[in-house]
A = this chain, B = another copy of it.
């Protein structure tokens, strides 16, 4: 059998699309869309086995890894936003905590070890049903390098941030808040939303 890779190239985490549910993932029958009794939203309901398949927003977890007066940025080797800069972040996985996910992403994307310090920003991106959760973190050592999904990884000072080449609005806004708050020394939690055409 041909490897799946040759049939359908794997999508990078942030390009995973919301696929309409056609079939029941428990028994394989074709689903119907209806509002189940006691529910308020239309769901994919299986007329054969009764299974309800829910779709909910996905969490993207990441960090602002800090080393002295610099932060760690990654240049993306994957779509979307190939070649643009971002904080280490990616989809949270089942069975992990948000901070474990943030540390895993720093390791995968930048071969970087971090210690999460504080919850910092939460941005909802409702048109793609995602929630970005970004922590402030301490970069533990300087032994970092590009992971498979990164072209380049580097520490930057505030005046070195490539503002026009940042991949995502939630990253841009997190960094804007970060440098503002660093000046006052008080890091307030921040939340908000990203609307089209931003993402």
Task: Give chain A's interface residues, CB within 8 Å of chain B.
Answer: 1, 3-5, 7-12, 16, 18-19, 21-31, 34, 36-41, 44-45, 47, 50-59, 91-100, 108, 118-122, 124, 126-127, 129, 131, 133, 135, 148, 189-191, 193
Contacts and interface: CB of A to CB of B under 8 A. Distances in A.
A54 B94 CA distance: 10
Contact of A23 (B24, B95, B100, B127): B24
B37 A120 contact: no
B10 A131 contact: no
Most buried by B among A1, A27, A29, A122: A122
Contact of A56 (B41, B91, B124, B127): B91
20 contacts: A4-B36, A4-B37, A4-B47, A8-B51, A10-B39, A21-B25, A22-B27, A23-B23, A24-B28, A25-B31, A56-B91, A56-B93, A56-B94, A57-B96, A95-B129, A97-B126, A99-B124, A99-B191, A99-B193, A189-B189
Given A28-B28, A92-B131, 11 more contacts: A7-B50, A23-B24, A25-B31, A41-B93, A54-B58, A54-B91, A56-B92, A59-B59, A97-B193, A98-B124, A99-B191
Given A91-B56, A94-B57, A4 B50 contact: yes
Contacts of A4: 34, 36-37, 45, 47, 50
A135 B36 CA distance: 28
B47 A1 contact: yes
Contacts of A119: 119, 121-122, 189-191
Contacts of A25: 19, 21-25, 31, 44, 53
